[in-house]
Amino acid sequence: MSETDFDADAWAAELRRMRDEKDAFFAEHPQSPIPPAERDGFEGLSYFDPDPTYRIGATARVHDRPDPVEMETTSGPNVRYLRVVTFEFELRGDDRTLAAYRQEEAEGRTLFVPFRDKTTGQETYRGGRYMEFEPERDLGDGDETVLDFNLAYQPFCAYSDTFSCPLPPEENWLEAAIRAGERTG
């Protein structure tokens, strides 16, 4: 579906369905980050309301020779990623960028976009949030795509200290409040 055919009601319904599915996973699955003793009282994650204005058109700038980036983690050794794409977009009248990464050994097209914004540590997890994208094909330089911040999620370490999670590098710290996606309770 092209952006000109965007159906906000269908999009919001699908987003709510995905959130319900994630809540069920967190409440019931053995690999849930919610400690087992707390699962009976788990009533679901907190989210900002779906907001289509946080579906933002972006231009991909592909790095033909991806730079390695060492990311600190919440507990443990740094992890090494490759900066494979930089997304350029406009948010509230200001030009912004976010880098997308892939682990060195990773296969596939999944792009990892960790970020911090002005909600970090106040309305959202203190370590930042993540987005992941699975483009239908490899992105080319100048390709247009949509960054949907409504899909931003908090890493497992936001719910349990037993996980070690990458922290967004400074190049992905946004000087704006992104009130979309998961938030703290």
pLDDT digits (tens, 9 = 90+) for 6-51: 899 999 999 999 999 999 999 999 999 999 999 999 999 999 999 9
Cβ contact 144:128 at 8 Å:
no
Across the chain, what does the average pLDDT equal?
A: 94
Residue 137: pLDDT band by 50, 70, 90 thresholds?
A: confident
- The first and second tokens of residue 12, run together, are 């919001």
The residue ranges of every structural domain in the chain are 3-183
Give residue 168's pLDDT. 98
So what's the pLDDT on residue 3? 57
pLDDT at 29: 95
Q: CA 23, 27, 31, 37: dihedral to nearest 10 degrees?
A: 140
pTM of the complete model: 0.92
CB-based burial label for 41 (10 Å; 0-12, 13-18, 19+): exposed
Mean of pLDDT values over 53-68: 95
Per-residue confidence (pLDDT) for residue 1, from 0 to 100: 42
